[in-house]
Structures are given as C-alpha cells and as structure tokens.
Amino acid sequence: MKARPFSEKISILAAYLGVAIGVAGCLYSLWISGHLFLVPRGASIRPMGLAAAQFLTVVITLLLGLPCALIGLSGPKKKLAGIALLFSCLPIPINMFIIFLAPIVRGFSYAG
C-alpha cells in the first residue's frame, strides 16, 4: 500500500474538519434559535441578543468551515468537502427559517 502524500492527508483532514465545524454551527444555530419557541403567546419581543448570537455563529462557522471545505476540495474527498461547504453555509437559512417560523407557531410578534 502506497502512503498518501502529506498534502492529500491535509485535504482529507480539512474536509472532515469542515463537516464537523458546519454541523456544529448548524446545531448551535438550532439551539440558540430554539429559544424563540419558548416565548409566550401574544408577547412582543426584541431579540437583539439572539440576533447577535446568530450573527456570530454564522460568521464563525463561515470563517472556520469554508476554508476547510475549500482546502478539502483539492483532495480526493470532494463529495465530503462539498457537504462541508453546504453545512458551512447552512446556519444562515436555518436562522432565517426559525425567525420567520417561530412567530407563526407561537403567536408572538417582533417589536420595532
């Protein structure tokens, strides 16, 4: 069995790391946005802290996961790197979906 070159090992590791970072960012986005489903019916809220947490989650996931996914695309695990690319960008639509879904389900409104 021939040993893989060092750059190929790095790209495989980057692809796996990109997937892990993307999945962690998605799960954290779901967790922090899930608190909107605990708001009482009829309340009017201004979730500024939530918006800041969501923004930081998206930025950190993109800054860490996207380069890993792009490095992974240069190696043999291109499908895994594509999944990492998808998961790195997925916290944005997750946050937007929950922000629009939670008031419909729970019956509260955003103030302002």
Closest CA to 72 of 7, 3, 27: 7
d(C-alpha 50, C-alpha 78), whole Å: 34
In the predicted model, is pLDDT for residue 3 greater than 70?
no
Which residue in this structure is represented by tokens 């937007």? 96
d(C-alpha 66, C-alpha 95), whole Å: 18
Amino acid at position 86, single letter: L
Amino acid at position 10, single letter: I
In the predicted model, is pLDDT for residue 2 greater than 90?
no
- 3-state class of 101 per DSSP? helix
pLDDT at 1: 65
Q: For the segment 58-100, what is each residue's pLDDT rounded down to a tens digit?
A: 999 999 999 999 999 998 999 999 999 999 999 999 999 999 9
CB-CB neighbours of 8 under 10 Å: 14
Q: Angle CA(105)–CA(109)–CA(112) in degrees, nearest 5?
A: 155
Q: For the segment 12-66, what is each residue's pLDDT rounded down to a tens digit?
A: 999 999 999 999 999 999 999 999 999 999 999 999 999 999 999 999 999 999 9
